[in-house]
Homo-oligomer: A and B are copies of this chain.
Amino acid sequence: MKALEEKIVREGTVLPGDILKVGSFFNQQMDVDFLMEMGREISRLFSDAGATKILTVEASGIALAVAAAADMHIPAVFAKKHKTANVSGDVYSTVVHSYTHNKDFNITVPKAYIKENDKILIVDDFLATGYAVDGLLNIIEQAGATAVGAAIGIEKGFQGGSDVLRQKGLRVESLAVIESMKDGKITFRD
């Protein structure tokens, strides 16, 4: 998505440690008109997938999930994050390692919200190591449902997450794929 690449270059900031800050339009502050455009692009990319539901993780995945679901006219569900393994209730849960914070957390989804006949589109704002998407895949498998793909806002291609997910047979589509951020210069994959 060319417009997203241009926006990243114009409004993003690269911090030490390959951290890309896009909080001015795509995280804590959201350019919602543009967000809805990203949602429509996801809807177009997966128009043939027959998705019945979108699954994301709180908190930063919610906005893009809503934007995509609005154009696809399907419900969206977010997994909750917990710091402890004290997970109770009738939920699917799995452990996800956070590369950014270097610790594990649990994500949970009530069993009532994913059915065996659901065709789930995973949506997330960022993809780096792919651990979060892999955790959502795990939950979809626990439910016996089908994952029809993962739609990502911004992918850090050089961290290899999408390669691992594709090897598992998952279709991954990212609206922008960053190839490198060396010396603060952002290069996109063609």
**Residues of A at under 8 Å CB distance from B?**
23-25, 28-33, 35-36, 58-59, 62-63, 66-67, 69-70, 73-78, 80, 109-110, 112-113
Contacts and interface: CB of A to CB of B under 8 A. Distances in A.
Given A33-B70, A35-B66, A70-B70, 12 more contacts: A23-B110, A28-B113, A30-B76, A31-B75, A32-B66, A32-B73, A35-B70, A59-B62, A62-B66, A63-B63, A66-B67, A67-B70
A29 B113 CA distance: 7
A28 B78 contact: yes
A78 B110 CA distance: 25
Q: How many copies does the complex hold?
A: 2
Given A24-B112, A58-B59, A62-B59, A29 B75 contact: yes
Contact of A32 (B23, B58, B74, B110): B74
A59 B69 CA distance: 17
Nearest to A62: B62
A62 B113 CA distance: 19
A30 B75 contact: yes
Contacts of A24: 112-113
A78 B28 CA distance: 5
A144 to B, nearest CB: 18
Considering residues A25, A35, A67, A78, which has the most beta carbons from chain B within 10 angstroms of its beta carbon? A78
A121 to B, nearest CB: 12
25 contacts: A23-B110, A25-B75, A28-B80, A28-B109, A29-B75, A29-B76, A29-B77, A29-B113, A30-B75, A30-B77, A31-B75, A32-B66, A32-B69, A32-B74, A32-B76, A33-B70, A33-B73, A35-B70, A36-B70, A58-B59, A62-B62, A63-B63, A63-B66, A63-B76, A67-B70
